Structure 1
Amino acid sequence: MATTKTRRFDRTVVRVLAIVTQPLTMYGLHALVDRTRGLTWCGATPNMETALSALSDHLPHVVLVDSRLDRDAGGIRALRDARPDVRVIGLVRGDYAPGYIRAIRAGEVNGLVSQSASTDIMVSAIRASLGEQPFVDPQLALWLPAAPDAVPTQRNRLTHRQLEVLTRLAAGRRNAEIADELGVTTETIRKHVKRIMNRLETQDRAHAVARGYQLGLVGFPGAEIPPTT
């Protein structure tokens, strides 16, 4: 009697599937995933109608979805119903996506990324989606502002010096530049960055900045970078 074989895949490598309609976007994502260690491209499909079969055929860990193909986020709910363990990242093409805002608040989407985001942000979002905290691209952070009365509580996660470092990271400063501005060594800044990532439960610098915007740690009154002399 014939036996049914269970399909297996290497869980040490994150498999990425894209649901996108524009070939240029698909090729760009494919190239990015292929050249990033720990990620592998497992396919793409151009619409939500074929998404469920693609999910079954390719067995991804993470699915990238063009939000314009699924404006009310109903399609991603179907994906999560079929595969509760799959992680979903919404790719937003510059316009407001209320369906995805509701979905990320409800825990149905694991990340939101602008399609104009840097490659570092996209890779950070994919990696962060495997954790517990949602990832929000800093470009989209104003869509999910922290409640005003929550900001003081969130600020207690970091020391004053760590907030100074995080604010400078958000401004694109390198460790050496931050060290020079704050009058400390580069190694001290490296330690601060590591502690910031640990306290915010983030994977890397870009994720820490995104989380900082989401929690209201970056951009709150008094967080502006003082002019250097």
Structure 2
Amino acid sequence: MVIRVVVADDQELVRAGFGMILDAQPDIEVVAEAADGAQAVEAVREHRPDVLLLDVRMPVMDGLEAARRVCADHPGTKVVMLTTFDIDDYVFDALYAGASGFLLKDVRRDDLTHGVRTVASGEALLAPSVTRRLIGEFTARRAGPAGPARPPSRLLQQLTGREAETLRLLARGLSNAEIAAELTVSEHTVKTHVSNLLAKLRLRDRVHAVVFAYESGAVVAGEP
């Protein structure tokens, strides 16, 4: 199976560089490039790619609005936001819009191709190494005087004990292998737990499971 990709960035060198790296892979094809959000939405409509790499800040239509439209109208296309190391406010909103994660613009060649394959396979692209920072900033920005809105507790009550443990560990930034070691189970079992909890909580992917864990109070930012 060839993974079809659209690259959207207003910097021509970024588009060309990512396109060259991805097209060099036998299982990845860049089917279109876009220089702004409107072009990105149109490219997705025309080509129906598996993955859209989408810059956050672009002219005509920004990446956030483009992500909202693509995620709403083309659920088969996984959206990955392109950002700098200093996490952009818009990335958090993009996660709510349905984006499946983010990549740093200075991503290494191997991490870029691995990220595209990961998202295309249905997994979320939220690197364990940056999960704590992302969620820490996310909760700080979302919290008001009364704190963030909490999803209904009845959804959490549907989880088994192991599924709830898996959710908490996932939210701490652990990979499947690390969760398996923590729970003394196989990675296959962890994948089953993750799949089950996503279905019960009505969540799109692992990224949104992490967000849900913090907003529901299942995990509290700053706790060890």
TM-score band, normalised by the shorter chain?
Answer: 0.5 to 0.7
Task: From the superposition, tell whether residues 107 and 81 of structure 1 become closer, same or farther in structure 2 (CA, over 3 Å).
Answer: closer
- Give the number of the structure whose residues are more often helix, by fraction: 2
Structure 2 segments unaligned to the other structure (5+ residues): 140-163, 195-206, 214-218
* Superposition CA RMSD, Å: 3.8
The number of aligned residues is 165
SS at match of 1:101: helix
Q: State the match for 2:179 in structure 1.
A: 157
Q: State the match for 1:40 in structure 2.
A: 29
Q: Distance in 2 between matches of 1:53 and 1:160?
A: 45
Q: State the match for 1:85 in structure 2.
A: 76
Q: Deviations over 1:145-191 (max 9, x none)?
A: 599x97895278322699xxxxxxxxxxxxxxxxxxxxxxxxxxxxx
Q: Deviations over 1:34-65 (max 9, x none)?
A: 11131111110100122222123322111000
Are 2:91 and 1:110 aligned?
A: no
Task: From the superposition, tell whether residues 72 and 115 of structure 1 become closer, same or farther in structure 2 (CA, over 3 Å).
Answer: closer
Aligned pairs (5 A) from 1:44-193: 44-69=33-58, 73-104=64-95, 106=96, 108-137=98-127, 140-141=130-131, 142-144=133-135, 153-154=168-169, 157-159=179-181
Q: Deviations over 1:91-128 (max 9, x none)?
A: 10233222222332x36001211011112221122111
Q: Distance in 2 between matches of 1:55 and 1:71?
A: 15
Identity, % of aligned positions? 16
Task: Determine which structure has more spread, i.e. the larger CA radius of gyration.
Answer: 1
- 1:101·1:144 contact (CA, 8 Å) conserved in 2? no
AA aligned opposite 1:100: V
Q: Distance in 1 between matches of 2:39 and 2:181?
A: 48
Q: Distance in 2 between matches of 1:83 and 1:161?
A: 37
TM-superposed deviation, 1:83: 1.4
Runs of 4 or more, structure 1, over 4 Å off, are 149-153, 195-198
TM-superposed deviation, 1:140: 3.9
Q: Distance in 1 between matches of 2:122 and 2:26?
A: 21
AA aligned opposite 2:23: D
TM-score (norm 1): 0.58
- 2:19·2:30 contact (CA, 8 Å) conserved in 1? yes
Q: Distance in 2 between matches of 1:150 and 1:91?
A: 31
Q: Distance in 2 between matches of 1:37 and 1:92?
A: 26
Q: Distance in 1 between matches of 2:69 and 2:113?
A: 25
